[in-house]
Chains A and B, each alone.
Chain A
Amino acid sequence: MENRSSQINAGALVRRERRLAYKLLLPTFLLVLGVVLFPLFANFWISFKPVLLADLRSPELSIREKVLSASETKSDIVRLEYRYRNPSKKYNLTEVKFDDRVPDGASVQEVDPRCKIKVDLMPRVISCELGALEPKARGRVAVTLAFYEPVLARQLLLKTKPEASFQTKNVLTSFEFTLSNYFKLFSSAEFWNVLKITIYYTVFGTAGALLMGLFAAQIMRSVFPGRAIVRGFLLFPYVAPVIAVAFSWVVLFDPFSGVINHLLIEMGEIKQPINFFGQRTVEVELFGHKFNLPLALSMVILFEIWRYFPLSFLFILARMQSIPKDVYEAAEMDGASPLQQFWFLSLPNIVGILAILFLLRFIWTFNKFDDIFLLTGGNAGTRTLTVNVYEQAFAVSNLGAGAAVASVVFAILLSVSGIFIYFLPKDHG
């Protein structure tokens, strides 16, 4: 009996713990849901819609009914006026119309030519077609009603409210879908070019940063005076704001006032200044072969390597320093050369972290927007998918097309990381 009750208590404790855990995690979950997962879903939603940037503001038509006749006295002729206005500063309203019920016991004596009386409907309806309305445009529609019996005009207004309708451009929340964003995207030659550039950028940027990081880690492994300072210094490119370092590169390589160009000219290496971030290709002669080097793209990749090698360096160094020293001492005793030590001792130990770093850096380079946007604005053959998202959505002002590109970004990302995780060495994951 006692045993049973303690079990029940334990069950209650477990439940309480569970409830507490959920309570503690709920705020995080909600925030992530609202700001990450919902937008992720919404992005797919938008990508199937013909949404333009201008559609974000929901348009409306303001319409008021005004009695022109004296409202306090009863009369059988009542003159009404509908005053309408497009309150938006930017957007046109098209196919604007409004309907209003003709009050019981009244006939329409005189009406604006834009309006029709629908007599087949009971009660009868005045239906006015106002056409298109420019931003801030306003207008009036006059109606004269004849009543069989004198009425108090003020009461009429309460009964009848005009119902306005117009072609709404707010397609965000509607259930109309279209594949045209995707059709346009995949059928344009630009997209495939952008994809190619993205792949170049990601692969070379990732591999370069990893190799440089490995090299830097090898250098920083040996003990020398000032090593701690140098290590901190090498992390500068990574911790400094992207905006600062990107602009300092732009200034450094500027074709008119940049140091590099002037230096090369003064030293007689080049005749004309080179627009490093603005020139698509440059002809390079290497061992007698001439070929076109994509200049701006290479510069952007170099920046990527420069900015992110510290991260790989940090990870690889941490992993290397955790390898016990006596392993190397033993290898040294056995006569292993430094290269052999690297190849057979260090490399197997860091291959796990290299794989993880490659995955993470690959994903983040693929996702990278700021760097290229700040360096070249996506011009001169450096437009990657992420820059294209911005370009489509905000420069061309086609949110739907931008969202379609973003969806493609996400889909590629998902499949690439899936493949990676499948092949990742399991013991290090």
Chain B
Amino acid sequence: MKFWMTGLFGAMVAGGVWTVLWHVIISILAVLMWGIPVSLQIASTLIAGMLAGAFVVSKYPRKGYTYNLLGLTITAFLILIFTFGQPFKFSTEMIDWKAHLLLFLHVGFSWWCITSVVKDIKIGQNQKYLIEKFYLNLLWGLGLIIFLLIVFVPFYIMIVTSLKSQQSLLLNPLDLSVDFRAGYSKLFGSYIELFTEYNFLTYLLNSFLVSISTVAITLIFSIPGAYAVSRLRFPGRKWFSGSILTIYLIPAIVLVIPLYALFSQIGLRNSLLGLCVVYPATTIPVALYMLQGYFSSLPRELDDAALIDGLSRAQIITKIALPLSMPAIASVSLYVFMIAWNEFLFAFMFLDDVNLFTLSRGIVSLDSSEVPRQHLMAGSVVATIPVLIIFLWFERYLVSGLTTGSVKG
């Protein structure tokens, strides 16, 4: 008999893990909501949770009001006993209802998670299949919550900080609620200031200009190229389609010094045109690769028929290949737009003139001790929103673009 295959052990692990996790999450929420110091009691909640888990697995059948009510009460008691009546150790006196609410949430969430994982595990020895499924379910739930949290927190901080005033940030950095009563002009104060005093409208327009030009140039260069590689026979075709992607692996940092030197000499450095030359050169290889794959999947007979009907190759590209490959072109465009929009290194190196800054470059200039943090975050939100809108709107296209081409990071 292996101890880890018994339902008792499994349920105790699940109970301990879930109770501690919710204890931590709810304590943090309490600190954030009310700004009251709470100290964690990991060991106590762990023991309480393990016993609660043992209770869950000992009873059968595991449904019905009485079972759940009994379980909830027992869990609450266990937590109360092991934390010596103070499930959330506040360092200051605390109004009762808040403590009750926290306990209620803690017990409820823990109980729900434990029961939905334990389900129909036997208290004794279980089949290998069932017990493995049980542990994986436990991991699944934990993983999902942790992933959601770690992705959510930085973005939430970004948004909330951008909506704060300098005073409230200094007064209580832990207050992460958004005060909607303050009025829009105060709420969006940082944004208004960015656009009126920090030139952000220009940055935004520059970013759009550079990104859209990059998309256009990339498509103009890569569509004919991709067509040639996928349809026309010429010596070196295999070599070309194979090696074009390696261009993509050349680090930008290796190119930046010579390009800086060269562009300084020919006057392209401090200009948006310079960026519009560099960005397509880095995106064309992957665009060509993606489009080439798509063109190859179109039936060749279409081209042959069109040739017999007297169309030229140029006409075939514009009248047959292009309309048929709109989905691929959409995903390439979005992908290239995103790369150009997010690009930082070259914008940072090349642009000196405030009127030419793109958003990336403009936000870096906000990173100083003289500019308040909420402006920096507001700038970050401004830069993030267009990309996220595009991403959410066209997720289907973008995901296919990401998986075929995004070796770049």
Which A residues contact B (CB, under 8 angstroms)? Answer: 14, 17-18, 20-22, 24-25, 27-28, 31-32, 34-36, 38-40, 42-43, 45-46, 51, 56-58, 172, 215-216, 218-219, 222, 230, 232-245, 247-249, 251-252, 254, 257-259, 262-263, 266-269, 306, 308, 311, 314-315, 318, 335, 337-339, 360-361, 363-370, 374, 386, 389-390, 393-394, 399, 402-403, 406-407, 409-410, 413, 417
Contact = CB atoms under 8 A, between A and B. Distances in A.
B359 A241 contact: yes
Q: Which of A24, A230, A364 has the most CB of B within 10 A?
A: A24
13 contacts: A17-B232, A25-B224, A46-B261, A56-B265, A236-B391, A239-B391, A241-B342, A241-B344, A247-B158, A248-B158, A268-B39, A360-B407, A374-B344
A211 to B, nearest CB: 12
Nearest to B278: A35
B119 to A, nearest CB: 14
A44 B54 CA distance: 67
A17 B250 contact: no
A147 to B, nearest CB: 45
Contact of B380 (A21, A248, A269, A318): A248
Contact of B232 (A21, A257, A407): A21
A406 B257 CA distance: 9
Contact of B147 (A219, A335, A407): A219
A248 B251 contact: no
B387 A239 contact: yes
A335 B128 CA distance: 10
B391 A235 contact: yes
Given A25-B240, A311-B406, A389 B222 contact: no
Contact of B140 (A20, A222, A242, A410): A222
Interface stretch (B76-84, B103-111, B194-202, B279-287): B279-287
B204 interface: no
A228 B214 CA distance: 30
B41 to A, nearest CB: 10
Interface of B: 27-28, 31-32, 37-40, 91, 128-129, 132-133, 136, 140, 143-144, 147-148, 150-155, 157-158, 161, 169-170, 173-174, 176, 221-222, 224-225, 227-229, 232-235, 237, 240, 247, 249-262, 264-265, 277-278, 280-282, 284-285, 288, 313, 338, 341-342, 344-345, 349, 359-360, 363-364, 367, 373, 376-377, 380-381, 383-384, 387-388, 391-392, 395, 398-399, 402-403, 406-409
Contact of A248 (B154, B235, B399): B154
B147 to A, nearest CB: 6
Contact of B255 (A39, A57, A235, A393): A39
Given A235-B391, A242-B342, A267 B37 contact: yes
Given A236-B155, A338-B136, A406-B254, A36 B380 contact: no
A218 B136 CA distance: 10
Contacts of A27: 221, 224-225
A31 B322 CA distance: 23
Contact of A24 (B158, B228, B284, B383): B228
B387 A18 contact: no
Contacts of B403: 314-315, 318
Given A18-B234, A28-B284, A308-B409, A267 B31 contact: yes
A337 B132 contact: yes
Given A239-B388, A339-B132, A367-B251, 4 more contacts: A34-B281, A46-B257, A236-B391, A409-B253
B161 A28 contact: no
A24 to B, nearest CB: 4
Contacts of A56: 260-261, 264-265
A267 B27 contact: yes
B342 A364 contact: no
B267 to A, nearest CB: 11
Given A25-B240, A32-B284, A236-B151, A244 B158 contact: yes
Nearest to B128: A337
B284 to A, nearest CB: 6
A42 B256 CA distance: 11
A234 B232 contact: no
B257 A399 contact: yes
Contacts of A215: 143
Nearest to B390: A239
A18 B391 contact: no
A369 B406 contact: no
B120 to A, nearest CB: 16
Nearest to A302: B150
Contact of B28 (A241, A263, A338, A399): A263
A413 B251 contact: yes
Contacts of A406: 251, 253-254, 256-257
B234 A216 contact: no
Given A46-B258, A56-B264, A266-B38, A35 B136 contact: no
Of B28, B169, B222, B344, the most chain A CB neighbours within 10 A belong to B344
A259 B174 contact: yes
A234 B392 CA distance: 12
Given A235-B391, A248-B157, A413-B249, A17 B234 contact: yes
Contact of B251 (A18, A262, A410): A410
A354 to B, nearest CB: 15
Contacts of A258: 173
Contact of A36 (B154, B224, B281): B281
B391 A233 contact: no
Contacts of B148: 230, 233
B154 A252 contact: yes
The 5 closest A-B pairs by CB, nearest first: A35-B281, A244-B380, A42-B258, A367-B251, A39-B258
A407 B254 CA distance: 7
A147 B174 CA distance: 90
B383 A43 contact: no
A274 B291 CA distance: 49
B237 A369 contact: no
A45 B284 CA distance: 26
Contacts of B222: 28
B402 A314 contact: yes
A329 to B, nearest CB: 14
A152 to B, nearest CB: 42
Contact of A247 (B224, B252, B377): B377
Contacts of A24: 224-225, 227-228, 232
A31 B280 contact: yes
A283 B342 CA distance: 36
Nearest to B31: A266
Given A24-B228, A215-B143, A240-B387, A36 B250 contact: yes
A143 to B, nearest CB: 36
Given A234-B151, A243-B360, A257 B258 contact: no
Contacts of A34: 281
Contact of B259 (A18, A35, A172, A247): A35
A389 B253 contact: yes
B113 to A, nearest CB: 14
Nearest to B130: A337
Contacts of A25: 224-225, 228-229, 240
